[in-house]
Structures are given as C-alpha cells and as structure tokens.
C-alpha cells in the first residue's frame, strides 16, 4: 500500500474495539470477509478470493483519498471488521463511509462503534458532512446508520461488481 506524503498510520479505540489503518498483512483476512457470500452480499465489490485481489484498491490516490481501517476486539488480534472514510464525489467534495463486520460478530453493536469512530475521525479532519450508501434490503445496516444520526438524503442503486445483481440503495447523510 502506498501512503500519501505526510499520511501516517492511524488508530482509534472505542469502548470494545481497536481500529487501525489496514496493513499489507491484513489483506487476506479482509478479502475473506469481503468475499464471503453472505457477509459481502450488499457490498458493491466483487466476492474476493485473496488479498492480492484487493491490494490495488487500498493504494492511495492523492486525488481521491480513502482511509481504510480494520477493527479488532480490544485485546484480540483477530480482524472482525473493516471500515473506511473517503471521497465519494471528488467534484462535490463529498466524503462517504463504508463498513463490514465478520458475520459471526453480527448483532453485537460493533458496526455502530466503527461508524461512530469514523464520524469522530471525519470531524478531526474538518469534514462537514458524510454520506453512507446502504442497500435498502440490508435492514441491519440501515438501523446502524440511523442510530448513528444519519438520515436518508436520496435513493439510488448500485450493481455488485462482476455480477448482474442490482441493489436499490439509500444514500444517508450526516451533517457534522
């Protein structure tokens, strides 16, 4: 992964999680999570098989910065989730968040902790608003962003990469 000049590794602690910048040696675990047919169902990315397939995605583009993080339960080394904050629309300077929790950890509030950590990070960067695109069928994820203060700003759709699967989505927005 390349880093922008001056960019540094970042980490956050929540009540139960340690969240840090994604590293090269995390990529196979991230690919396994994103590539899981059930766990990655509502992600726009394809079902990855290995870390090599996502290596390029995580490289920094100075014109379109994205911060990729992994989440672990405090005191444990296992990656149980991922989250990101980055430009969704460089022309409008709109930032967007994304997150994913390993399915065996669903229903424990970890997604909300990651989203709240991203909100705090966005405030630290001076970002004024962020969006969160969520598939309408993904009821749990819709609840997460609503609990974190986001409201529906618009509706859209996306096609899962490498498939013909189209998901109608809500674009949630939070003014910071």
pLDDT of 103 > 90? The answer is yes
Model confidence pLDDT, tens digit, residues 88-101 = 765 566 799 999 99
C-alpha to C-alpha distance for 49 and 116, rounded to whole angstroms: 29
pLDDT of the residue at 9: 76
Q: Residue 104's pLDDT is what?
A: 94
Q: How confident is the model at residue 8 (pLDDT cuts 50, 70, 90)?
A: low
Interatomic CA distance for residues 96 and 56, integer angstroms? 19
> Can you give the pTM of this predicted structure?
0.89
**In this structure, what token pair is assigned to residue 175?**
């003014």
Is the pLDDT at 3 greater than 80? The verdict is: no
- pLDDT at residue number 144: 98
pLDDT value of residue 64: 64
Determine the pLDDT at residue 1: 35
User: Which residue from 50, 52, 60 is spatially nearest to 84, judged by alpha carbons?
Assistant: 60
Question: How confident is the model over 56-60, as a mean pLDDT?
Answer: 69
Q: Between vectors from CA 140 to CA 134 and to CA 144, what angle results, nearest 5°?
A: 75
**What's the pLDDT tens digit per position in 129-156?**
999 999 999 999 999 999 999 999 999 9
The pLDDT assigned to 36 comes to 87
Mean pLDDT, all residues of the chain: 88
pLDDT at 134: 96
pLDDT of residue 94: 76
Helix (H), strand (E) at residue 86: strand 79-89
- The mean pLDDT value for 60-65 works out to 65
Report the percentage of the chain scoring pLDDT > 70: 88
- Is the model more confident about 174 or about 128? 174
Please say whether the beta carbons of 119 and 112 come within 8 A: no
**H/E run at residue 95:** strand 94-101
């Amino acid at each position: 992964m390349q880093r922008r000049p001056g960019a540094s590794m970042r980490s956050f602690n929540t009540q139960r999680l340690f969240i840090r910048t994604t590293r090269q040696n995390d990529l196979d675990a991230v690919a396994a999570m994103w590539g899981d047919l059930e766990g990655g169902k509502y992600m726009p990315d394809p079902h990855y098989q290995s870390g090599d397939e996502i290596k390029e995605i995580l490289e920094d583009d100075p014109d379109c910065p994205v911060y990729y993080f992994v989440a672990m339960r405090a005191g444990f080394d296992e990656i149980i989730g991922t989250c990101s904050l980055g430009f969704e629309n460089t022309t409008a300077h709109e930032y967007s968040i994304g997150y994913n929790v390993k399915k065996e950890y669903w229903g424990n509030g970890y997604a909300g902790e990651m989203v709240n950590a991203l909100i705090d990070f966005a405030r630290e960067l001076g970002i004024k608003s962020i969006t969160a695109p969520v598939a309408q069928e993904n009821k749990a994820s819709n609840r997460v962003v609503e609990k974190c203060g986001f409201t529906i700003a618009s509706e859209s759709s996306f096609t899962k990469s490498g498939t013909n699967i189209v998901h109608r989505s809500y674009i949630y927005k939070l003014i910071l």
